[in-house]
């Protein structure tokens, strides 16, 4: 492990006052949730072009396909447990330094780890809820899927307005929730340390967040296995698995506070 990098991150965190953490699919791979693009993963069994928002809206056939895909991927997410990296973020929050936790993940593991839901900004929505695309009513996921199982429904429709129901995640071609996006960019501008964990930084506009933070004067840290298009902009990069790296950073930080 990059001990020197870990020490430097801990030092930066120690002098930070307002931290924003930004997470992607890479923080959850150690919890057993694969990223959708790995060979043999659920993603590879479905054609991405058939799962767009526009197709979902256009035809029952695609809504059926979307729900089949959604239900196939869900158990891996609902059974998963948070790992050391999710827990480290809870610890950062308890230290009083966390301004916001922005995530591209839809798996709900930050909430499961104990992060304050009021500080979590889910840019790509959540698998834990279902929403009506016409009247925006929301349900806890199981309320809808239990009814689907009981009544043998393949595509659920809204009991209020008849609109199609969809998992409350952002599909390809669907716009990101404006308020969540605005707040995320505002927090990025206002922090003094922006910590990205497990994101390839290729999905826009989320990938612009670190640059926004830099423009606001923040230092940038990246914990990630692979390189990203924004590596040049980072102050410190620690390459490694998010769980053990974040755990070591927290151990280092605790050592400071014991001194
Ligand atoms: P991504 O663009 O966030 O890329 C994942 C990055 O994490 C890669 O750069 C990879 O090198 C790195 N990584 C993988 N395992 C790691 C580990 N253990 N430690 C540190 N880094 C690690 O994610 P993606 O798979 O390209 O997916 C794009 C979008 O799909 C996401 O933004 C998200 O909305 C959705 N998605 C969500 C989940 C989830 O909720 N868990 C899972 C897959 C995809
Ligand atoms: Zn409705």
94-152 pLDDT, tens digit per residue, is 999 999 999 999 999 999 999 999 999 999 999 999 999 999 999 999 999 999 999 99
201 CA closest ligand 1 atom index: 2
210-226 per-position pLDDT tens digit: 999 999 999 999 999 99
CA distances to 25, 86, 113, 231 from 31, in Å: 10, 10, 12, 25
Q: Is the pLDDT of residue 40 over 70?
A: no
Regarding whether 155 and 258 lie in a shared domain, the answer is: no
- Using CA positions, which residue lies closest to atom 22 of ligand 1? 26
Which residue, of 134, 169, 204, is where some domain finishes? 169
When divided into structural domains, the chain yields a total of 2
Instruction: Report the percent of the chain where pLDDT is more than 70.
Output: 96
Q: Is the pLDDT of residue 27 over 70?
A: yes
Regarding whether 120 and 143 lie in a shared domain, the answer is: no
Regarding whether 114 and 99 lie in a shared domain, the answer is: yes
- The residues that bridge with 138 in the sheet, in sequence order, are 131
Domain residues for the domain of 1 are 1-32+82-124+176-259
CATH code: domain of residue 181: 3.40.50.1220
- Place 11 in a pLDDT band, splitting at 50, 70 and 90: very high
Q: How far apart are CA 33 and CA 11, in angstroms?
A: 31
pLDDT of residue 34: 83
Verify whether ligand 1 is closer than 6 Å to residue 23 (CB atom): no
Regarding whether 248 and 208 lie in a shared domain, the answer is: yes
Q: Is the pLDDT of residue 250 over 70?
A: yes
Regarding whether 132 and 7 lie in a shared domain, the answer is: no
Q: Quote the ligand 1 centre to 198 CA distance (angstroms).
A: 6
Verify whether ligand 1 is closer than 6 Å to residue 202 (CB atom): yes
pLDDT of residue 259: 67
Q: Quote the ligand 2 centre to 163 CA distance (angstroms).
A: 5
Verify whether ligand 1 is closer than 6 Å to residue 256 (CB atom): no
Q: Quote the ligand 1 centre to 147 CA distance (angstroms).
A: 31
Q: Quote the ligand 1 centre to 27 CA distance (angstroms).
A: 7
Regarding whether 209 and 96 lie in a shared domain, the answer is: yes
Q: What is the pTM of this model?
A: 0.95
Regarding whether 241 and 143 lie in a shared domain, the answer is: no
202 CA closest ligand 1 atom index: 2
State the ligand closest to the CA atom of 132.
2
User: Helix or strand or coil: residue 179?
Assistant: helix
């Amino acid at each position: 492990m990059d001990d020197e990098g870990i020490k430097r991150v801990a030092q930066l965190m120690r002098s930070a006052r307002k931290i924003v953490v930004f997470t992607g699919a890479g923080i959850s791979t150690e919890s057993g949730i694969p990223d959708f693009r790995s060979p043999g993963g659920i993603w590879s069994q479905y054609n991405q072009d058939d799962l767009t928002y526009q197709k979902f809206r256009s035809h029952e056939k695609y809504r059926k396909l979307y729900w089949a895909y959604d239900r196939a991927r869900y158990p891996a997410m609902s059974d998963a447990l948070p790992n050391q990296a999710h827990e480290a973020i809870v610890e950062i929050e308890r230290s009083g330094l966390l301004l916001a936790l922005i995530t591209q993940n839809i798996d709900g593991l930050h909430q499961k780890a104990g992060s304050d839901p009021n500080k979590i900004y889910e840019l790509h929505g959540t698998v834990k809820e279902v929403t009506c695309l016409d009247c925006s009513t929301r349900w806890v996921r199981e309320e809808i899927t239990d009814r689907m199982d009981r009544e043998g429904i393949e595509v659920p429709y809204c009991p209020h307005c008849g609109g199609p129901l969809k998992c409350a995640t952002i599909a390809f071609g669907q716009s990101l929730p404006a308020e969540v996006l605005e707040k995320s960019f505002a927090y990025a501008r206002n922090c003094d340390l922006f910590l990205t964990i497990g994101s390839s930084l290729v999905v826009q506009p989320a990938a612009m967040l670190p640059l926004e933070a830099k423009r606001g004067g923040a230092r940038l840290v990246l914990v990630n296995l692979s390189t990203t298009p924004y590596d040049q902009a980072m102050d410190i990069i620690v390459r490694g698995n998010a769980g053990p790296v974040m755990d070591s950073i927290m151990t280092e930080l605790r050592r400071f506070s014991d001194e």
